[in-house]
Structure 1
């Protein structure tokens, strides 16, 4: 269910800022993340990759493993959010 968390909520918690000219695009920490429903793509030259879901987004931006990503989501969205993203 953590994978089902709104990526806009997750990316905001990650500290990225919405691009005023492109509302589906978020920038910060060296990333340029475009969100399309439950999928994301990082257009930053050093990354150029995409995936889907909240866990993958946290793992990508925070450069961490699955366990740390779930813990990070739990800290920000609570147990129900962490369970939601993980199932």
Structure 2
């Protein structure tokens, strides 16, 4: 659970998923991350950058396309 302070000053404990929702709705003033308090208005948050990334792509499955498994040419599994 993550400790948060709403914009109205109330404190709460929320799940990481609910924190993401509250951040998206702009309901949070500060939250605790790794023991330190983060001010949402001042700190950079994941997924909220305004610029584009110009470095080398390091994702392993970036735009990979998986082909459907073909069963047409498979030998029969059961004997008659």
Normalised TM-score (structure 2):
0.25
Whose radius of gyration is greater, 1 or 2? 2
Structure with more helix by fraction: 1
Give the alignment's TM-score, normalised by structure 1.
0.24
- Greater RCO, 1 or 2 (C-alpha within 8 Å, sep 6+): 1
